[in-house]
């Protein structure tokens, strides 16, 4: 009898605990909109929740994972066993394809008491020429972008990206891409003549020779001329040259910078060069090699390309700021370090200062 009584008490406590922890119960807590058409605009669903606790609940907030999802709810107390509604509205504008959005429901005690989910598939509306090619250049030529960002570039590996174009005029256009900044590594494949209404792509590619590695930021800028005229639209490409990936991560170097940010504080524009220390450590298992160091205008550092730091050792460096080279007011910039650390080959040290008269 004693064992049965103990078992009954434990079961009762378990049921009571589960009941108390159930919080605000939404059944169902997930809603699938199915296929929705983007041009039809916003869609909404009403979730109904029941207070499964033994005391009143107050919804403090409903937090969505995206600004495209907006909840509407009441902060009136919900009595035990009482019901409340949360209306969730999703805006499909410029969000084609499958979507899943979660919303956390929080009580006045600042704890999460429920989670809601909406999902569906947005069927995109037809796009206009202006939407597909938002950048207008001279002569009726439109582009879908003026930037190709390649992130990391490895020696011996060719990479490509493209910029779409359309000729919206009623006549053929003669296209020229004149270099303004050249790395010597960019390969361009573009038409010389574009027919009326023609759509196509300008192909941009980088290839760093395997026998001549290049480290750090690689930039190219091409000014667009149509029929010999320009409105100074620039087609830009850039990437970061680093070492090829290494499979031996257990024997690799590892760069650790002692600071994420260096604050110079208030400095006089005509004042002296300011200096702040930081340390670069190698916590890996082979030599850390500094491949490149890049500094913004008026910034400098005692780190140099080619420096080697043995495993377990460090280098005490300095960052310098020449206030006369910066604009007045709050200024933010970076010192960029490229090293042979395969896990994080690029590190950025943020620099801030307030430049005064």
Query: What φ, ψ does residue 139 adopt, rounded to 5°?
Result: 75, 5
**Are 258 and 193 in a shared domain?**
no
pLDDT of residue 9: 40
pLDDT of residue 5: 42
**Are 116 and 134 in a shared domain?**
no
Residue 1 forms part of a structural domain: no
- Which residues of the chain register pLDDT less than 50? 1-21
pLDDT of residue 109: 82
Domain boundary among 123, 149, 167: 123
- Count how many domains the chain has: 3
Contacts of 15 by beta carbon, 8 Å cutoff, 6+ apart: none
**Are 206 and 165 in a shared domain?**
yes
CATH number of the domain where residue 269 is located: 2.60.40.10
Residue 11 forms part of a structural domain: no
| Gap between the Cα atoms of 302 and 289, Å rounded | 15
pLDDT of residue 23: 82
pLDDT tens per residue, range 141-185 = 999 999 999 999 999 999 999 999 999 999 999 999 999 999 999
Domain boundary among 203, 218, 241: 241
Q: How far is CA 245 from CA 153, 172, 207, in A?
A: 11, 45, 16
Contacts of 222 by beta carbon, 8 Å cutoff, 6+ apart: 177, 178, 179, 180, 188, 234, 235, 236, 237
| Gap between the Cα atoms of 42 and 90, Å rounded | 6
**Are 133 and 234 in a shared domain?**
yes
Domain interval for residue 199: 129-241
| Gap between the Cα atoms of 281 and 316, Å rounded | 9
């Amino acid at each position: 009898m004693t064992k049965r009584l103990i078992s009954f008490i434990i079961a009762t406590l378990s049921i009571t605990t589960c009941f108390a922890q159930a919080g605000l119960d939404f059944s169902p807590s997930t809603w699938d909109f199915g296929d929705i058409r983007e041009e039809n605009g916003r869609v909404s669903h009403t979730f109904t929740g029941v207070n499964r606790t033994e005391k009143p609940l107050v919804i403090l907030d409903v937090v969505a994972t995206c600004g495209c999802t907006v909840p509407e709810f009441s902060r009136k107390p919900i009595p035990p066993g009482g019901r409340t509604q949360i209306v969730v509205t999703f805006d499909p504008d410029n969000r084609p394809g499958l979507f899943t959005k979660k919303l956390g429901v929080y009580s006045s005690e600042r704890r999460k008491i429920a989670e809601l989910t909406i999902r569906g598939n947005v069927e995109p509306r037809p796009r206009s020429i202006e939407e597909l090619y938002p950048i207008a250049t001279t002569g009726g030529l439109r582009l879908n972008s003026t930037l190709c960002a390649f992130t990391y570039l490895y020696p011996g590996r060719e990479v490509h990206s493209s910029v779409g174009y359309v000729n919206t005029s009623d006549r053929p256009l003669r296209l020229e891409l004149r270099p303004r900044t050249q790395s010597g590594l960019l390969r361009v494949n573009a038409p010389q003549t574009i027919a009326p209404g023609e759509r196509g792509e300008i192909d941009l590619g980088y290839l760093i020779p395997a026998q001549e590695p290049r480290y750090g930021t690689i930039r190219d800028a091409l000014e667009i001329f149509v029929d010999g005229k320009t409105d100074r639209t620039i087609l830009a490409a850039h990437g970061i040259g680093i070492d090829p990936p290494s499979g031996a991560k257990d024997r690799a170097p590892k760069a650790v910078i002692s600071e994420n940010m260096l604050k110079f504080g208030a400095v006089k524009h005509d004042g002296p060069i300011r200096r702040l220390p930081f340390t670069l450590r190698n916590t890996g298992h082979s030599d850390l090699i500094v491949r490149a160091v890049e500094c913004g205008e008026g910034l400098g550092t005692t780190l140099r390309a080619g420096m080697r730091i043995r495993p377990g050792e460090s280098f005490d460096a300095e960052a310098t700021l020449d206030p006369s080279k910066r604009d007045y007011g709050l200024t933010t910039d970076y010192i960029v370090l490229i090293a042979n650390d395969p896990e994080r080959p690029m590190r950025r040290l943020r620099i801030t200062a307030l430049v005064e008269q």
